[in-house]
A and B are shown apart, each in its own frame.
Chain A
Amino acid sequence: GAVVSQHPSRVICKSGTSVKIECRSLDFQATTMFWYRQFPKKSLMLMATSNEGSKATYEQGVEKDKFLINHASLTLSTLTVTSAHPEDSSFYICSANAYSYNEQFFGPGTRLTVL
Protein backbone atom coordinates (compact mmCIF):
# COMPACT_ATOMS: atom_id res chain seq x y z
CA GLY A 1 0.00 0.00 0.00
CA ALA A 2 0.92 3.66 -0.17
CA VAL A 3 3.44 4.87 2.41
CA VAL A 4 3.44 8.19 4.21
CA SER A 5 6.33 9.22 6.43
CA GLN A 6 6.67 11.95 9.03
CA HIS A 7 9.75 13.57 10.42
CA PRO A 8 10.63 13.93 13.19
CA SER A 9 8.81 11.20 15.10
CA ARG A 10 9.41 13.00 18.39
CA VAL A 11 10.45 16.54 19.19
CA ILE A 12 10.95 18.38 22.44
CA CYS A 13 11.32 22.13 22.31
CA LYS A 14 11.35 25.15 24.56
CA SER A 15 8.38 27.44 24.83
CA GLY A 16 8.53 30.24 22.26
CA THR A 17 10.45 28.32 19.61
CA SER A 18 9.09 27.13 16.28
CA VAL A 19 8.94 23.52 15.19
CA LYS A 20 8.61 22.17 11.67
CA ILE A 21 7.07 18.77 10.96
CA GLU A 22 7.42 17.15 7.55
CA CYS A 23 4.97 14.81 5.89
CA ARG A 24 6.03 12.91 2.79
CA SER A 25 4.27 10.54 0.47
CA LEU A 26 6.99 8.08 -0.46
CA ASP A 27 5.64 6.13 -3.38
CA PHE A 28 2.80 8.20 -4.76
CA GLN A 29 1.86 11.75 -5.58
CA ALA A 30 -0.49 13.27 -3.07
CA THR A 31 -2.59 16.09 -4.41
CA THR A 32 -4.12 16.60 -0.98
CA MET A 33 -2.64 16.21 2.47
CA PHE A 34 -4.41 16.53 5.78
CA TRP A 35 -3.07 17.53 9.18
CA TYR A 36 -4.67 16.18 12.35
CA ARG A 37 -4.07 16.75 16.00
CA GLN A 38 -4.81 14.09 18.55
CA PHE A 39 -5.56 14.88 22.17
CA PRO A 40 -5.52 12.21 24.89
CA LYS A 41 -8.86 10.38 25.05
CA LYS A 42 -10.22 12.51 22.25
CA SER A 43 -10.79 11.92 18.62
CA LEU A 44 -8.54 13.08 15.85
CA MET A 45 -9.22 16.71 15.09
CA LEU A 46 -8.71 17.83 11.52
CA MET A 47 -6.64 20.99 11.55
CA ALA A 48 -6.32 21.79 7.87
CA THR A 49 -6.49 20.47 4.34
CA SER A 50 -3.49 21.17 2.17
CA ASN A 51 -3.53 21.14 -1.61
CA GLU A 52 -0.32 21.26 -3.60
CA GLY A 53 0.49 24.73 -4.81
CA SER A 54 -2.33 26.51 -3.01
CA LYS A 55 -3.10 27.86 0.42
CA ALA A 56 -4.26 25.44 3.06
CA THR A 57 -7.86 25.39 4.18
CA TYR A 58 -8.06 25.59 7.95
CA GLU A 59 -10.82 24.21 10.13
CA GLN A 60 -12.76 26.55 12.35
CA GLY A 61 -10.86 27.40 15.50
CA VAL A 62 -7.41 26.60 14.11
CA GLU A 63 -5.10 29.61 13.97
CA LYS A 64 -3.49 29.75 10.54
CA ASP A 65 -0.75 32.09 11.74
CA LYS A 66 0.07 29.69 14.53
CA PHE A 67 0.08 26.52 12.45
CA LEU A 68 1.72 27.31 9.13
CA ILE A 69 1.20 24.76 6.41
CA ASN A 70 3.17 24.59 3.20
CA HIS A 71 2.50 22.08 0.44
CA ALA A 72 5.26 22.87 -2.00
CA SER A 73 5.27 19.63 -3.97
CA LEU A 74 3.13 16.59 -4.65
CA THR A 75 5.11 14.57 -2.12
CA LEU A 76 5.80 17.01 0.71
CA SER A 77 3.74 19.06 3.11
CA THR A 78 5.09 20.79 6.20
CA LEU A 79 3.42 21.98 9.37
CA THR A 80 5.24 24.64 11.36
CA VAL A 81 4.07 25.30 14.90
CA THR A 82 5.18 28.88 15.51
CA SER A 83 6.02 30.24 18.96
CA ALA A 84 5.10 26.93 20.52
CA HIS A 85 3.60 26.82 24.00
CA PRO A 86 2.99 23.88 26.34
CA GLU A 87 -0.67 23.71 25.29
CA ASP A 88 0.53 22.90 21.77
CA SER A 89 2.00 19.65 23.06
CA SER A 90 0.21 16.89 21.23
CA PHE A 91 0.43 14.09 18.69
CA TYR A 92 0.28 15.47 15.16
CA ILE A 93 -0.64 13.12 12.34
CA CYS A 94 -0.68 13.77 8.62
CA SER A 95 -2.44 11.84 5.92
CA ALA A 96 -2.27 11.92 2.16
CA ASN A 97 -4.95 11.36 -0.40
CA ALA A 98 -3.78 8.84 -2.94
CA TYR A 99 -6.51 8.13 -5.42
CA SER A 100 -9.69 9.76 -4.24
CA TYR A 101 -10.67 11.83 -1.29
CA ASN A 102 -12.12 8.74 0.35
CA GLU A 103 -8.82 6.93 0.59
CA GLN A 104 -6.30 8.41 2.97
CA PHE A 105 -3.00 6.99 4.10
CA PHE A 106 -1.69 8.10 7.45
CA GLY A 107 1.78 8.93 8.59
CA PRO A 108 3.16 7.48 11.83
CA GLY A 109 2.65 10.74 13.71
CA THR A 110 4.90 13.23 15.48
CA ARG A 111 4.88 13.63 19.25
CA LEU A 112 5.50 17.29 20.12
CA THR A 113 6.37 18.22 23.69
CA VAL A 114 6.78 21.89 24.52
CA LEU A 115 8.55 22.59 27.79
Chain B
Amino acid sequence: GEDVEQSLFLSVREGDSSVINCTYTDSSSTYLYWYKQEPGAGLQLLTYIFSNMDMKQDQRLTVLLNKKDKHLSLRIADTQTGDSAIYFCAESRVDKIIFGKGTRLHILP
Protein backbone atom coordinates (compact mmCIF):
# COMPACT_ATOMS: atom_id res chain seq x y z
CA GLY B 1 0.00 0.00 0.00
CA GLU B 2 0.79 3.65 0.00
CA ASP B 3 0.64 4.28 3.73
CA VAL B 4 3.27 5.19 6.26
CA GLU B 5 2.09 3.62 9.49
CA GLN B 6 2.69 4.73 13.06
CA SER B 7 0.85 4.34 16.32
CA LEU B 8 -1.39 7.28 17.18
CA PHE B 9 -0.59 7.73 20.84
CA LEU B 10 2.30 7.25 23.27
CA SER B 11 2.42 8.09 26.95
CA VAL B 12 5.79 8.36 28.74
CA ARG B 13 6.91 9.51 32.17
CA GLU B 14 9.10 12.57 32.37
CA GLY B 15 12.76 11.54 32.41
CA ASP B 16 12.16 8.21 30.69
CA SER B 17 13.00 7.45 27.06
CA SER B 18 10.32 7.68 24.39
CA VAL B 19 10.41 5.38 21.38
CA ILE B 20 8.16 6.15 18.44
CA ASN B 21 7.94 3.52 15.72
CA CYS B 22 7.05 3.78 12.06
CA THR B 23 6.80 1.46 9.09
CA TYR B 24 7.03 2.65 5.52
CA THR B 25 6.35 1.02 2.19
CA ASP B 26 8.71 2.26 -0.50
CA SER B 27 12.00 0.37 -0.39
CA SER B 28 13.52 2.89 -2.79
CA SER B 29 12.97 5.81 -0.43
CA THR B 30 16.16 7.82 -0.22
CA TYR B 31 15.46 9.79 2.94
CA LEU B 32 13.29 9.15 5.96
CA TYR B 33 12.26 11.95 8.25
CA TRP B 34 10.92 12.76 11.67
CA TYR B 35 8.92 15.95 12.07
CA LYS B 36 7.56 17.52 15.25
CA GLN B 37 4.33 19.48 15.43
CA GLU B 38 3.47 21.47 18.51
CA PRO B 39 -0.16 22.45 19.16
CA GLY B 40 -1.52 24.83 16.53
CA ALA B 41 1.82 25.12 14.76
CA GLY B 42 3.36 23.91 11.54
CA LEU B 43 5.89 21.15 11.22
CA GLN B 44 9.47 21.31 12.34
CA LEU B 45 12.05 18.95 10.87
CA LEU B 46 13.65 17.14 13.79
CA THR B 47 16.02 14.88 12.00
CA TYR B 48 16.38 12.74 8.92
CA ILE B 49 18.32 9.67 7.95
CA PHE B 50 19.73 8.65 4.61
CA SER B 51 18.64 5.19 3.53
CA ASN B 52 22.15 3.75 3.54
CA MET B 53 22.52 4.46 7.26
CA ASP B 54 21.40 2.25 10.15
CA MET B 55 21.54 4.82 12.90
CA LYS B 56 21.83 8.53 13.43
CA GLN B 57 22.26 10.28 16.75
CA ASP B 58 21.71 13.96 17.44
CA GLN B 59 21.87 14.99 21.10
CA ARG B 60 18.82 13.38 22.77
CA LEU B 61 17.51 11.97 19.51
CA THR B 62 18.44 8.59 18.07
CA VAL B 63 17.03 7.34 14.78
CA LEU B 64 17.23 3.65 13.92
CA LEU B 65 16.53 2.34 10.44
CA ASN B 66 15.87 -1.29 9.56
CA LYS B 67 15.71 -1.21 5.82
CA LYS B 68 14.95 -4.91 5.47
CA ASP B 69 11.78 -4.57 7.55
CA LYS B 70 11.11 -0.99 6.40
CA HIS B 71 11.00 0.07 10.01
CA LEU B 72 12.07 3.42 11.40
CA SER B 73 12.17 4.50 15.03
CA LEU B 74 12.81 7.71 16.92
CA ARG B 75 14.14 7.52 20.47
CA ILE B 76 14.02 10.61 22.67
CA ALA B 77 16.22 10.25 25.72
CA ASP B 78 15.33 11.94 29.02
CA THR B 79 11.91 13.00 27.80
CA GLN B 80 10.88 16.49 28.93
CA THR B 81 7.52 18.26 29.08
CA GLY B 82 8.61 20.34 26.09
CA ASP B 83 8.74 17.16 24.03
CA SER B 84 4.96 16.91 24.21
CA ALA B 85 3.85 17.14 20.57
CA ILE B 86 2.81 15.10 17.56
CA TYR B 87 5.66 13.33 15.78
CA PHE B 88 5.32 12.54 12.10
CA CYS B 89 7.32 9.92 10.28
CA ALA B 90 7.77 10.58 6.55
CA GLU B 91 9.41 8.95 3.59
CA SER B 92 10.65 10.48 0.39
CA ARG B 93 9.24 9.31 -2.92
CA VAL B 94 10.31 10.39 -6.41
CA ASP B 95 8.68 13.79 -6.29
CA LYS B 96 6.99 14.10 -2.93
CA ILE B 97 7.12 13.22 0.73
CA ILE B 98 4.52 10.90 2.26
CA PHE B 99 3.62 11.39 5.91
CA GLY B 100 2.29 9.04 8.56
CA LYS B 101 -0.72 10.07 10.64
CA GLY B 102 1.46 11.21 13.51
CA THR B 103 2.06 9.91 17.04
CA ARG B 104 0.87 12.11 19.88
CA LEU B 105 3.44 12.00 22.68
CA HIS B 106 1.99 12.66 26.12
CA ILE B 107 4.34 13.28 29.05
CA LEU B 108 3.32 12.08 32.49
CA PRO B 109 4.69 13.95 35.53
Chain B residue numbers with a CB within 8 Å of A93 are 42-43
Q: Does A115 contact B (CB under 8 A)?
A: no
Query: Which residues 1-59 in A have Cβ within 8 Å of B in the complex?
Result: 4, 6, 34, 41-44, 46, 49
Q: Give the CA-CA distance A48 to B106 in the complex, in Å.
A: 32
Residues of A within 8 A of B40 (CB): 109, 111
- Nearest A residue to B35 via CB reads A106
Evaluate whether A108 and B102 lie within 8 angstroms (CB atoms) in the complex, with A44-B88, A49-B96 already known. Answer: no
Instruction: Say how far B95's CB is from chain A's closest CB, in angstroms.
Output: 7
**Residue interface bits B79-108, CB-to-A below 8 A is 1, else 0:** 000000000100010011111111000000
Chain A residues with CB under 8 Å of B101's CB are 41-43
Q: For the complex, would chain A's binding face be called helix, strand, loop or mixed by DSSP majority?
A: strand
For residue A6, which residues in chain B have a CB less than 8 angstroms away from its CB? 42
Q: Is B25 an interface residue (CB 8 A)?
A: no
B11 near A: Cβ within 8 Å?
no
Determine the distance from Cα of A11 to Cα of B69 in the docked complex, in whole angstroms: 43
Chain A interface size, as a band, is 20 to 34
Kindly state whether residue B77 has any CB partner on chain A within 8 Å. Answer: no
B27 proximal to A (CB < 8 A)? no
**Contact call A44/B42, Cβ cutoff below 8 A:** no
B102 closest partner in A (C-beta):
A43
Closest to B50 in A: A102
Of residues 70 through 115 on chain A, the ones whose CB sits less than 8 Å from some CB of chain B are: 93, 95, 101-109, 111
Q: Does B28 contact A (CB under 8 A)?
A: no
